[in-house]
Amino acid sequence: MASLGDKTNFTIVGETGSLLYSVTLLSEGDWVIGVRTVRTINSNSERLLSLINWSDVDGISTENPFFIRYYEVPVAPENLRLQ
């Protein structure tokens, strides 16, 4: 996961063997999601990593590029008084 326009500063949020994965965003902003495959090739757990496929790049794996715009839910106001 990376900020829109800054893919050099990305955060790995997890690995899964499943096709579904939930991501929790920690701050407001525009985000892109990157996915890559990881293949373990021997008993020493040597791994091969593919290139990252970013959600905002039009390509073979992303037919409809997208990004996530996240806004935090506002906290309910408390202790308001009519002046």
* Euclidean distance between CA atoms 39 and 48, whole angstroms: 5
Q: Which residues contact 46 (CB under 8 A, 6 or more apart)?
A: 40
pLDDT at 43: 80
pTM of the complete model: 0.67
More confident of the two residues 59 and 37: 37
The per-residue pLDDT for 57 is 86
- At residue 62, the pLDDT reads 74
